[in-house]
Amino acid sequence: MKNIKLNYMYRDGANYKQFGEIVFENPEEISIAAATHKIKEKLIQEMFFVSEDWGFPSLRIYPYDPEIDHDWHTFEDFEETNAVQSDSRSLGEFLEGIVMG
């Protein structure tokens, strides 16, 4: 059974991009298609979320400028991986526990 990696991105007001990933174990054997469908229901405009609301690290590395920056991160996709789990929740626990933005 492969783990599932969630890829996400932060683009600041100056269009600098930072990329991140979270790896979940998948004992529930949730398909990537099902996970994608479920997460899109909880995203802002089916794309954005506030990383801290979901227990993810923020990808902002430059000082926050409230004039041009924002808190929204972008969900990129899910993929299967052999990488080690980086989040203590399983994929199913994460999908059930996330809150809508």
pLDDT value, residue 34: 98
Average pLDDT over residues 73-88: 97
Query: Into how many domains does the chain fold?
Result: 1
The whole domain housing 13 covers 3-97
User: What is the model's pLDDT at position 65?
Assistant: 83
Report residue 98 as tokens. Answer: 């996330």
Q: Report the SS3 class of residue 35.
A: helix
Residue 101 has pLDDT above 70, yes or no: no
**Is the full-model pTM beyond 0.85?**
yes
Q: List, for residues 13-72, the tens digit of each pLDDT value.
A: 888 999 999 999 999 999 999 999 999 999 999 899 999 999 999 999 888 888 888 889
pLDDT, average across residues 75-95: 98
What the block records as the tokens of 72 is: 């929204």
